Structures are given as structure tokens and as C-alpha cells.
A = this chain, B = another copy of it.
Amino acid sequence: MSQKYTTRAEDYSKWYNELVNRADLAEHSDVRGCMVIKPYGYAIWEKMKDILDKKFKETGHSNAYFPLFIPKSYLSKEAKHVEGFAKECAVVTHYRLMNDEDGNVVVDPSAKLEEELIVRPTSETIIWNSYKNWIHSYRDLPILINQWANVVRWEMRTRLFLRTAEFLWQEGHTAHATKQEAIEEAEQMLHVYADFAEQYMAMPVVKGVKSPSERFAGAEETYCIEALMQDGKALQAGTSHFLGQNFAKAFDVKFADKEGSLEHVWATSWGVSTRLMGALIMTHSDDEGLVLPPTLAPIQVAIVPIYKGEEQLNAISARVATLTSTLRAKGISVKYDDDDNRRPGWKFAEYETKGVPVRVAIGQRDMENNKAEVARRDTKEKSSVDWDGIADYIEQLLGDIQSNLYNKARAYRSEHITEVNSYEEFKEALSTKGGFISAHWDGTEATEDKIKEETKATIRCIPLDRKEEMGQCIITGKPSQGRVLFAKAY
């Protein structure tokens, strides 16, 4: 592992790309904009998926599956929605290939679809077209459905996990009898996402709502969680939308209420995607490689024997066997790496690159002293630990690493929320330390646009817990009722 990798300080973007590659998480495919998620990367995504899925079910949701294809005309039914999504989509126009005269495989011109199909960029339209037939009376409500699926949004500039033409995600789509219930659902799912981000990803997030110009196409209100990456750029990690009656009106979905009168149904949708992988990587990792919070690490503990000859190896293996079974009984995932073809130094480097939270090394001297060397990935500290009680030590250490990662990320974020009271201060803070800039804003799109154009910073969110504080917009001086968070963002 003598190869020199780019550090975060040298080039954050290059560091990220190299890391995704060397930690064996994903790679670009030959298909423009589409990624291959490799087994190690997918194993982390699976852990995220399992935890989120459990949380969705605990909050009363069921999974279902809707078609990959959306007839072109459906996208057009909700006016803002088509504006937002039609510009970047994969269009299926034919349904057959054939051999031409020269034996080449070509599209069969006679197999042209009457109406083009769009590969779903999001599923509101196809789902509300189904809900129309499912909903008749208030007894059919609420509908609380989630879908795990792939979606496609044609992107010109792509980055692994952060922005790809095809990505994996979940999309919740719920239908409610009242506005209030739909708003509560959208807020509930925002909290589910925030809890997941903080408790499992060890990634602190700000909960807020988007400014009107940053709302989802077709939403009345977009709730979001915003995280801060180590380069001072923000990343939108999840969104939950209160859709009002927009899709119900577009697809004519009404229900008879208890009094028998027909009303349009209220809706939400909410989603997180493989983009979370990018957020996870950029929140914790360092110049040596990936750093994973224990709750999401496919391998939590790697044990490496250091030996000469088969006899020593056998003795170590016998001792380690009891540790691995004790750890597994505690629900801790362990890999005992006795591969004879790779030297310990190579193994250490590999587990470091792959972000395995705890590494245990045990050699002849450790055997004699009834000890082992335990190294934690986050701080790189090593300790010589008594073999008796080592399982409890490791269990506790995993918990410590989880909190340490969260606390460290939270401290970084706290240092990178800057309150400013003038545009000069705003630009100064943005260019020197980056991060979130908390400033007064007059509530207009014109001001947002001006700031974006001049500084590339956008309003990430209006925090849910912001103080009521009268102030003046840093651009126009007009009155403002509270600060919003600006940042450059992924």
C-alpha cells in the first residue's frame, strides 16, 4: 500500500472519488451516468435499508411496488411536476430490436410505442393514478405505502452516490382525509429521517423547510434534513413533502367523508436515496480511508493473527474462536482473517481503508501475556487489552466510537454555523470557513437568486427550531422574522 492518495486538504473532490474507489464501494459503469454498487458498498446500503425499513413499518407503513414506466401524459397532469422532471428523463420509444440486412442489431421501426414511456424519475403520478381506484370513502384512508426502487434522472455531470442518472431509493406515498393528518405525516417522516441520520449515520442534521423556490415540484411544503460535509458544503440528506391536494386534483382522487360529501385527498411523499452513502463517506472519513459508524459497518471487528508457522496460527485460532463466538452472541459482526496469502500489514491497511471500526491483532507475545492489541479506526488509538473481558471491552468501544463520531461531526458543524448581519460578513464567512451561514432574508426569490448568482450559496432550509427574531435582510434591508441557513451545497 505504498501508493500515495490525495488528502482532503489537497483536493476534497479528488479525495472522495479515490476513496469510493479504493474502499471498493462503487464505480462508474460504461453506461453514461450509471454506477455499479460493489458488494462492500451495497452491504452498507443494505444496512441502511434494513434500519429504515423497520422504522417505516413501526410507523405503520407497508411496502408495495409500482411500475418502472410512466406514460408521458401522466407526467403532464401536475403542471409544476412536469416542469421539474420532464427535462431530464429516459424515454422509451420502442419495444423491439431486429437484425438489419447486414445482420446488425437495430431498433425495429415498426415497434414504435403509441405513447412514449418515461423511466420513473419519481412515482407520484403513476401511484396517484392507482390510488384513484383504491380510494372511495374515508374508510379507505389513510394509505401508508413505501416503495424501494430504482429511479432515473438524466444528469449531465455525475458523481458516484451523490449524483447519478440511475440511483436507488425509497419513496413513501401517503393519502389522507385531512390536511392536518397529511402535514403530521410529512413531519413524522422528517423526524424518522433525522433520527436515522443522527443515531445510525452519526451525522447531525438540521431539520427545516425549503424556501418556495427549492420545493419539490408539486409540493406545498418541502421538509428537509441538511447535513454538513467536512469541506464546509451542505448536503440535503432527505426530504419529506406535504403535497396538499395537488396530485389528488391532477388525478381526480376524491373520497366520501363521513357526511357523504366528496373531497379531494391530501398527500405526502418522502424519500432518501443512495446519496446517503455519499453523505456518510464525507461526514466521517479521513485521509487514510473510510470511517464507518459501527451501526452501519458490515464488519465491525476484524481480528488479525500474527504468527510464524502453522503451530502458532493454530494456537491463536483456537483462542480467537471463543472471542468471535462471544462477540457474535452479542450481535457484533466479526471477521477473523487468517488468510495466509496476505501479510498482517496488508490486512491492517485494508481494514483501515474500508473503515472497519475495531481491529484486533494477536501475536505470540500477546498469547503469552494473555493480551491482544485493539485499535480503533476513528482515533487510530491502540491499546493492549487483557484477554479476559476483551469482548466487553470491544462492545463498549463500539459504542464509544459511535458517540465519538457523532460528537466530532456535531462539534465541526457547531463551529461552522456562522451568524452574520451583513452581506459583507456573509461573503467573508462563506469564503473563509464555509459551512452554514445564518442570516436574515426578506423572503423573496429575487434575493435568493442574487445571492446564488453572486456566491453560489443557496438557502438550505428555514430551520424548524429557529428563534423568532426580527431583523433585516442582508441584501435588501427589508424586515425578516428570523434567520435562514445558507450554504454552498452538493
Whole-angstrom distance between the alpha carbons of A117 and B27 in the complex? 19
Q: Which of A86-94, A175-183, A190-198 contacts B (4 or more CB under 8 A)?
A: A86-94
Q: Which residue of B lies closest to A50 (CB)?
A: B50
A9 lies within 8 A of chain B by Cβ: no
Q: Which residue of B lies closest to A75 (CB)?
A: B105
Whole-angstrom distance between the alpha carbons of A408 and B324 in the complex? 44
For the complex formed, measure the closest distance between the CB of A20 and the CB atoms of chain B, giving whole angstroms: 14
B71 touches A31 (CB 8 A): yes
Q: Which residues of B contact A66 (CB under 8 A)?
A: 29, 36
Number of copies of this chain that the complex holds: 2
A309 lies within 8 A of chain B by Cβ: no
**Which of B65, B86, B105 meets A36, CB within 8 Å?**
B65
**Which of B87, B97, B129, B145 meets A97, CB within 8 Å?**
B87
A31-B117 contact in complex given A75-B105, A89-B95, C-beta closer than 8 Å? yes
Q: Total interface residues on A, using CB and 8 Å?
A: 61
A320 lies within 8 A of chain B by Cβ: no
A107 touches B116 (CB 8 A): yes
Q: Which residue of B lies closest to A342 (CB)?
A: B139
**Which of B36, B64, B76, B82 meets A67, CB within 8 Å?**
B36
Q: Which residue of B lies closest to A134 (CB)?
A: B38
A119 lies within 8 A of chain B by Cβ: yes
What mask results when residues 73 to 106 of chain A are scored 1 for a CB within 8 Å of chain B, else 0? Answer: 1011000001000111111111111100000110
Whole-angstrom distance between the alpha carbons of A384 and B133 in the complex? 41
A97 touches B118 (CB 8 A): yes
B36 touches A63 (CB 8 A): no
B29 touches A68 (CB 8 A): no
Whole-angstrom distance between the alpha carbons of A62 and B86 in the complex? 36
A67-B31 contact in complex given A92-B90, A97-B87, C-beta closer than 8 Å? yes
A30-B96 contact in complex given A64-B38, A65-B36, C-beta closer than 8 Å? no
Whole-angstrom distance between the alpha carbons of A288 and B144 in the complex? 28
Interface majority SS (helix, strand, loop, mixed), chain A: mixed
Whole-angstrom distance between the alpha carbons of A310 and B341 in the complex? 71
A347 lies within 8 A of chain B by Cβ: no
A59 lies within 8 A of chain B by Cβ: no
Q: Which residues of B contact A73 (CB under 8 A)?
A: 105
What mask results when residues 23 to 54 of chain A are scored 1 for a CB within 8 Å of chain B, else 0? Answer: 00001011100111111001100100000000
A90-B117 contact in complex given A39-B62, A126-B31, A129-B30, C-beta closer than 8 Å? yes
Q: Which residue of B lies closest to A103 (CB)?
A: B76
A139-B82 contact in complex given A65-B42, A76-B105, A96-B89, C-beta closer than 8 Å? no
A325 lies within 8 A of chain B by Cβ: no
A82-B65 contact in complex given A96-B89, A150-B150, A154-B95, C-beta closer than 8 Å? no
A169 lies within 8 A of chain B by Cβ: no
A221 lies within 8 A of chain B by Cβ: no
For the complex formed, measure the closest distance between the CB of A330 and the CB atoms of chain B, giving whole angstroms: 20
A171 lies within 8 A of chain B by Cβ: no
Whole-angstrom distance between the alpha carbons of A308 and B104 in the complex? 75
A226 lies within 8 A of chain B by Cβ: no
A69 touches B39 (CB 8 A): no
A90 touches B97 (CB 8 A): no
**22 CB-based A-B contacts, threshold 8 Å:** A29-B67, A29-B126, A30-B129, A31-B69, A34-B69, A35-B67, A36-B65, A36-B67, A38-B64, A43-B62, A72-B105, A76-B105, A87-B97, A87-B98, A90-B94, A91-B92, A91-B95, A91-B96, A92-B93, A95-B154, A107-B116, A119-B119
Given contacts A34-B68, A72-B105, A87-B96, 8 further A-B contacts (CB under 8 A): A31-B71, A39-B63, A72-B97, A82-B105, A91-B95, A91-B107, A96-B154, A97-B118
